[in-house]
Structure 1
């Protein structure tokens, strides 16, 4: 059996952690408060950091910036797709009243269909993955603080 790629494996781990966190919040009835979703960025960031670290170790400690970025963004996108699928299932089948509970938190008269809610969750996941990967890759970017790098500054 072929081993899973690093981004796929870590994407699955990130998704499991996100789902577990969401279900933990739902036990206490806190999953209807969007403020708690800020911790999703911490979970995603930690998973992407570990994915890039594992990818770097697999490549012997050196890799191109683009390859590391691709590994991180792929892990985040895999996690987002899996979590969005779970969220759609949870909202439509497991707890159909969740959509109404979540929308009433904003005290609005708008009708938000389930598709728009799921699309928003996916969009937030993709954006978080992109931004967090950009931030984490700064740790792995090669420095220009060398004698060769100083030749290219003013």
Structure 2
């Protein structure tokens, strides 16, 4: 249970942060401008960094790259799924006109529907999770370039 609790706990926290940020933007009517979604990467980045840091501390000397990679990626995927579900509910149930405001040009020119928008939100979250995981694992993995690292990995 301990291995799964970090990705779940941090995934829920990141998802809640993304939802809170979205709702704050909606108070000002700024949630319909995709440029503001760039800050989602900061929220994901901070949360995933904390998750992998906590996971490494909990494992100590038994930290393995593969397990850390899975923990980090799972954290990001959990957050992405939570936010995608919220986004789908928001766009279909809570504010049905939101998609029309979000993609006014695309709806007319490309016949875009809610399903593709939700799919894109999910893919963006998954891609962000993968890129952040690859970057952070470079910081947290053991180096093989030191004398101790070479002895440990032989």
Length-normalised TM-score, structure 2: 0.89
Contact 2:84–2:121 (8 Å) recurs in 1: yes
Normalized per residue, the structure richer in helix is: 2
Change (3 A) 1:49 1:61: farther
Contact 1:80–1:122 (8 Å) recurs in 2: yes
For residue 83 of structure 1, report the CA deviation from its aligned partner. 0.4
1:143 partner SS: coil
User: Structure 1 residue 138 and structure 2 residue 141: aligned?
Assistant: no
Q: How many correspondences in the alignment? A: 150
| Counterpart residue number, 1:78 | 78
Structure 2 residue ranges without an equivalent (≥5):
none
* Deviation per residue, 1:74-102 (Å, 9 max, x gap): 00000011100000000000000100000
Change (3 A) 1:146 1:52: same
Contact 2:100–2:107 (8 Å) recurs in 1: no
Q: How far apart, CA to CA, are the structure 1 residues paired with 2:61 and 2:94?
A: 44
Runs of at least 4 residues off by over 4 Å? 105-108
For residue 146 of structure 1, report the CA deviation from its aligned partner. 1.6
| Counterpart residue number, 2:59 | 59
Q: CA RMSD in A?
A: 2.2
- Listed as ranges, the matches of 1:90-129 within 5 Å are 90-104=90-104, 109-129=109-129
